[in-house]
Amino acid sequence: ETGVTQSPTHLIKTRGQQVTLRCSSQSGHNTVSWYQQALGQGPQFIFQYYREEENGRGNFPPRFSGLQFPNYSSELNVNALELDDSALYLCASTLGGVSTDTQYFGPGTRLTVL
Amino acid sequence: KQEVTQIPAALSVPEGENLVLNCSFTDSAIYNLQWFRQDPGKGLTSLLLIQSSQREQTSGRLNASLDKSSGRSTLYIAASQPGDSATYLCAVRLVDSNYQLIWGAGTKLIIKP
């Protein structure tokens, strides 16, 4: 148990729709990162938030956006869904400075885009 | 551009054997390297974290080594058990690019009873 939860567990959407995925971090964990993991591949970094501000972004288009809230929860929003967005979406939280701390991952949300 | 490679992609060994999983990376400018375990349908569990100034870390039957100059890390699993069956991923944290993690594709390990 990592203390990080994600909802929903599974989700099916159609192309062009919008989706919001949610993550609840451990209390006191100020940094949250989101990753996309396609089947058979390693996770790809989407973005990272520290104390409600985005402070890092991977190679993902602007239709991937996020929010972090003071209660250690966060959201990943994806607009105009494409078939290639089908993947496992993982969030991870870190107590403080990400350079040295262990990340704690949630179980992920499996998104299928039809 | 940092690239992380894990070989082999899959490995099947009898219970009780000692085994080594390999991870290589192209840019030695890293903050740390982590090994994770992923079980089917589940998230990732951190196993070991090696800082860039360290050479190895140990936890129980697991030992991870880091050679920055050659861009390599190994995860050694002693006396393997069926419960060790999972996908093992390594990830390096970059010095620049806001410390993001770059991941390998993983090694799928099956321990046969």
Mind listing the pLDDT tens digit for each residue in B15-48? Answer: 999 999 999 999 988 989 999 999 987 788 989 9
The percent of chain B in helix, strand and coil, each rounded to the nearest 5, is 5, 60, 35
Interchain CB contacts (distance < 8 Å): A and B: 64
Check residue B97 and give its pLDDT: 65
| Mean pLDDT of all residues in A64-92 | 95
Closest chain A residue by Cα to residue B99? A99
Q: Are B107 and B8 in contact (CB under 8 A)?
A: yes
Cα–Cα distance measured from residue B78 to residue B21, given in angstroms and rounded to the nearest whole number: 12
- pLDDT for residue A96: 67
Cross-chain CB nearest to B100 (options A4, A45, A104): A45
CB contact under 8 A, B43 and A2: yes
Judged by a CB distance cut-off of 8 A, whether residue B4 touches chain A is yes
B44 vs A40, A90, A99: nearest CB: A90
Comparing CB atoms, the residue among B42, B51, B99 nearest residue A98 is B99
